[in-house]
Structure 1
């Protein structure tokens, strides 16, 4: 699940709905990817509940994030519950076959990036333990672009943003 692509698809940057002065974790998901994890995440984004300005919020049982910080590194893993995975993808056994095991929570996608001491642990979007309180997913067709290109695609209505709670 670790991504080793030159463009990691994860950034710490200023993005809506955090506002221009606040930074947060932004994760890109390619809606056309052949990767089973990205396919599952992309499909689950359709179960969000629309908030203001076209931003969707997902229930933690549908899709949530876990952040792990080690010195100089932040990793984000996206999870869904086994029940949600089984219920939503029962008609897609080839996709389900990629997510073996019987744990209650199923990891779908993991992205990581190098960080310094500045970042989500020092901004207003962080919880009391210094971890991000939310991760923003931006779904778009094609490989990950720069954050500015992704935000422009969102502003043009060509990409969506979903807010995931952090467990």
Structure 2
């Protein structure tokens, strides 16, 4: 599957039809070590609304970048958090000690909102096994087979 089939600009339940944002699917059975690490870090979340978990920004965070008509979202974690939680293969560290776990992008004119200098959160829906459509991903959440994680964006 390409990145654009795992990233959407959409409204997500339970947040309501007016809150459009970036949604990523995160497969717990993925063969990608970065995606596996991100999935495992969801266990560090704190439950808010039923089935919705909030992660502290130093546990797992998102970064937005734009190149022309493409919006990219990169999931990053602190090396110290990864060392504490799980064995992750060596990956490139940036100057702040952040490790890039995965990157997805798609063509869109959507600009994430900012409020008080903070970028709009990125939503992750976790699932086990491949999911091919947004409807299939949301149906898994509605059925209680998936959870939503809210990630602060840098």
Q: Same fold (TM over 0.5)?
A: yes
Whole-Å separation in 2 of the counterparts to 1:132 and 1:51: 20
Structure 1 runs of 4+ off > 4 angstroms? 100-103, 128-132
Residues 107-122 of structure 1 mapped to structure 2, 5 A cutoff? 107-116=100-109, 119-121=110-112
CA distance in 1 between partners of 2:119 and 2:134 (Å): 18
1:85-124 alpha-carbon deviations (Å, 9 max, x no partner): 11111xx3xxx224255751111010000113xx244xxx
Structure 1 length-normalised TM: 0.83
The one of 127, 146, 149 aligned to 1:159: 146
Match of 2:69 in 1: 72
RMSD of equivalent CA atoms = 2.2
Contact map agreement 1:138 1:162 (CA 8 A) in 2: yes
TM-score (norm 2): 0.89
Higher strand share: 2
| Pairs within 5 Å for 1:41-60 | 41-60=38-57
Aligned residues: 153
Q: Distance in 2 between matches of 1:132 and 1:114?
A: 19
- Of 92, 97, 105, the residue aligned with 2:89 is 97
Contact conserved, 1:8 with 1:111, CA < 8 A, in 2?
A: no
Q: CA contact under 8 A between 1:31 and 1:141: conserved in structure 2?
A: yes
